Amino acid sequence: MAVRNICVYPDPVLREPTEEITSFDDELAVLVEDMWETMHVYDGIGLAGPQIGVSKRIAVIEYNGEKFVLINPVIEDKEGSKTVEEGCLSFPGIYEKVDSPDKIKVRWQNEKGGHEEREIDGFLACVFSHEIDHLNGRLLIDRVSPLKRQFLKKKIAKQAKEQ
């Protein structure tokens, strides 16, 4: 197992198209283990492949004692909207209030290749939606107002300079 580096915005890998996963082999098992370890070290509740430079349709989520390995996830249906404060390991130190679906229906494959489907609501629906957005190159910064986006871009550039 290994802790992988987190790719931070504006790393272009966060925008790259992601590939479907078709082999449920040892290499995938290692990737999943590394993702868990990396997410725990960085104290996150979700981590998507692109965030560690892996352009594949995979994400892990751990929330309220439940763990999910989402492979090739698809949101089949969404309902309602609520405003929640979200953070992201690719935007360290940034927390923004954004709109997120209230309820979603998702299907995905687990790490063995088995098919799962579930209706999810509450904060977990936000987490699922956030991680699946990553697989489509959609980021937290895309979900705020244009003015806020401009402000955040400046803030991030300043943070990068200071490091």
Question: Which residues of this protein are in contact with Ni ion, per CB under 5 A?
Answer: 88
Tell me the two tokens of residue 64: 């309220």
What's the rounded Cα separation, in Å, for the pair 98 and 149? 12
Nearer to Ni ion by Cβ, of 69 and 88: the residue is 88
The yes-or-no answer on residue 131 being catalytic is yes
Q: Which of 16, 86, 131, 162 is catalytic?
A: 131
Rg (CA), the chain: 15
Instruction: Give me the residue whose beta carbon is nearest to Ni ion.
Output: 88
Shortest distance, CB of residue 58 to Ni ion, whole angstroms? 14
Q: What is the DSSP letter of 56?
A: B
What's the rounded Cα separation, in Å, for the pair 42 and 37? 9
Shortest distance, CB of residue 23 to Ni ion, whole angstroms? 25
- Other C-beta atoms closer than 10 Å to the C-beta of 32 total 16
Shortest distance, CB of residue 109 to Ni ion, whole angstroms? 21
Nearer to Ni ion by Cβ, of 88 and 126: the residue is 88
Catalytic residue positions, numbered: 131
